Structure 1
Amino acid sequence: MSDKLTKNFPSIKQATPVNSLEYKFKGIPDPYWIAGFTSGDGSFQIRLRKLNTNIGYRVSLLYSFHLHIRDLDVLKGLANYFNNSSENLISNDKKVGISSDKSVHLQIAKFTDIKDKIIPFFDKYPIEGVKSLDFEDFKKVCKLIENKKHLTPLGIKAILDIKLNMNQNRKF
């Protein structure tokens, strides 16, 4: 406890520090583990960036994780699972990055990787729970992009409507 807490709460005894167990990542046991891990810690995101074009936006999809640095091996394991290379992460524009706040992130954003690897994977090994709804919305936007609807004002509106009702904005 800090000196200030000790002074303000003298009747509370300081706890004896306990050594916590250290988790050693032993690899991904099966594909359903990835589905469960994604349900708990993963994120399906739709990004719209303003541009000076006729449509006015660039649409991209992002499958990502942001974890404590102690979980770096887990993210490398995920990267390896999807591509056998934690360096490339499916393709060269994927990242396992280390942030200054002692956290790590994995981001997969290349459209062909999302369409050809991530979506088929989760179709085969479904996510359970609320995040499955975000995945279904993510798939809808992928289909809109695949059909070039993101290049039309109506398509952008549809994508924006989907995005505004995903993740923390979802209404039940």
Structure 2
Amino acid sequence: MNLGLSDLLKSNFNNVNPLERPLINIENIPNSNWIAGFVIGEGNFDIRIAQQSSNKIGYRVQLRFRISQHERDLKLMESLIKYLGCGKIYKYTNQSAIVLTIFKFSDIYNVIIPFFKKNPLLGVKQLDYLDWCQVAKLINEGYHLTLEGFNFIRKIKLGMNTGRKFNNT
């Protein structure tokens, strides 16, 4: 939704006039629980794995915390950075969306993880966060630099976010 409606969706509903979403013009974040609730709906904890020839196993593992919003909500994103004390805002190419991204490991380990330990998330987002924290611990211990550790992290990554499976019992 934050990226806008697809052309296919617009063409199938061409008689519908969409309402403008209200601008979220927050100068000050109300409290830490507000951020936790906002992240449940809009945030993402992910693990990026990329080839890197300088690494002895040939891959690099990077944790990322991201929040995407429409570019009109820039002030909100800036307020989040101010509140958390870390992060950068990037603009999606050819889209009207921006993303607050935190990938610096020291910021993740010293700011983001403690923040959500103190302000727990709810639902499936908490499960993704806990898996992400497990990988952060492995990275902090250097386990990601071993083939065994790397493979374990890949397994965790595959079970996060859209890869998460639930038992219907």
Q: Normalising by structure 1, what TM-score?
A: 0.80
After superposition, where does 1:5-154 map in structure 2 within 5 Å? 22-52=23-53, 53-83=55-85, 90=86, 94-99=87-92, 100-154=94-148
Q: 1:18 to 1:55 in 2, by over 3 A?
A: closer
Describe the SS at the equivalent of 2:95.
coil
d(CA) in 2 for partners of 1:17, 1:59: 41
Percent identical among aligned pairs is 41
Shift of 1:133: 0.2
Gaps (5+ residues) in structure 2?
1-14
Q: Deviations over 1:56-81 (max 9, x none)?
A: 21011000111111111111111000
**Corresponding residue number in structure 1 for 2:154:** 160
d(CA) in 2 for partners of 1:113, 1:157: 25
Q: State whether residues 25 and 76 of structure 2, in contact with CA within 8 Å, keep that contact through their aligned partners in structure 1.
A: no
Gaps (5+ residues) in structure 1?
1-13, 84-89
Q: Normalising by structure 2, what TM-score?
A: 0.82
Shift of 1:20: 6.6
d(CA) in 2 for partners of 1:78, 1:59: 25
Letter in 2 for 1:105: V
d(CA) in 2 for partners of 1:137, 1:17: 37
Which structure carries more relative contact order (alpha carbon 8 Å, separation 6+)? 2
